[in-house]
């Protein structure tokens, strides 16, 4: 099948794109506004994109014309955010946080998450997350109307003790049990079906 994107509506483009690029890691992004109110929301237009500076990117898209998501507003005003990685145990809470609540709703409460203060940023992190990345905004790229990619530098990392080997400076990623977002309404993937392929050397 050949599909010319020019023939599609925005919704159709979205639907096919997110079904083609799978699985996508999920950033459960926690932020604080200038009054110190907390916000948490999931984003699967997300990945690590650079090691020096260590950087992640998050695609924040308006759900309706003129609407700015709390996450985008808080990052715009504070320049800081935390990416909490998502495992099975916080998947349902993460899903709760994906509802478009007004700014005064604290999704930490709704999802049963415990906020912990950031070490290097004013944004809180989710205590229940296996891994959390404290980030400072490097740049915001406006791709289209209400379509922003926030690129943040990772300035501090929290890893659950049992996932980390300090002697080897090694994260046991296979034990973290992170989930990814798949296609359509509500499909997710687990990182339990792994295989190892040593890196080709070319010789």
Ligand X SMILES: Cc1cc2nc3c(=O)[nH]c(=O)nc-3n(C[C@H](O)[C@H](O)[C@H](O)COP(=O)(O)O)c2cc1C
Q: What angle do CA 149, 86, 78 make, to 5 degrees?
A: 40
Q: Give the nearest distance from C-beta 18 to ligand X in angstroms.
A: 9
The correct pick among 25, 32, 70, 178 for binding ligand X (CB under 6 A) is: 70
3-class SS letters over 89-103: HHHHHHHHHCCCCCC
Q: Provide, rounded to whole angstroms, the least separation between the CB of residue 96 and ligand X.
A: 9
Smallest gap from Cβ 42 to ligand X, in A, equals 4
* Binding span for ligand X by CB under 6 A among 4-12, 67-75, 171-179, 189-197: 67-75
Residue 23 touching ligand X (CB under 6 A): no
Whether the link from the prior residue into 23 is cis, omega within 30° of 0, is: yes
Q: Nearer to ligand X by C-beta: 17 or 165?
A: 17
SS3 49: strand
Q: Does 63 bind ligand X (CB under 6 A)?
A: yes
95, 137, 155, 171: which one contacts ligand X (CB under 6 A)? 95
Choice from 22, 61, 78, 191 touching ligand X (CB under 6 A): 61
> Counting contacts by CB under 6 A, is residue 44 touching ligand X?
yes
- 185: helix, coil or strand? coil
The rounded distance, in Å, linking the Cα atoms of 143 and 149 is 7
């Amino acid at each position: 099948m050949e599909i010319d994107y020019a023939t599609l509506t925005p919704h159709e483009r979205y639907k096919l794109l997110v079904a083609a690029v799978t699985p996508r890691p999920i950033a459960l992004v926690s932020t604080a506004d200038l009054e110190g109110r907390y916000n948490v929301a999931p984003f699967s237009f997300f990945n690590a994109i650079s090691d020096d500076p260590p950087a992640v990117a998050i695609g924040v898209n308006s759900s309706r014309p003129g609407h700015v998501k709390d996450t985008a507003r808080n990052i715009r005003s504070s320049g800081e955010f935390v990416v909490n990685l998502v495992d099975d145990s916080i998947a349902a809470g993460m899903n709760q946080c994906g509802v478009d609540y007004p700014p005064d709703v604290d999704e930490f409460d709704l999802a049963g998450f415990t906020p912990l203060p950031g070490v290097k940023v004013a944004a809180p992190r989710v205590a229940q997350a296996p891994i959390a990345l404290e980030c400072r905004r490097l740049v915001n790229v406006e791709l289209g109307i209400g379509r922003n990619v926030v690129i943040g530098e990772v300035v501090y990392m929290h890893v659950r003790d049992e996932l980390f080997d300090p002697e080897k400076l090694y994260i046991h990623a296979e034990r973290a049990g992170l989930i990814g977002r798949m296609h359509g309404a509500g499909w997710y993937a687990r990182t339990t079906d792994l295989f190892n392929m040593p890196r080709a050397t070319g010789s």
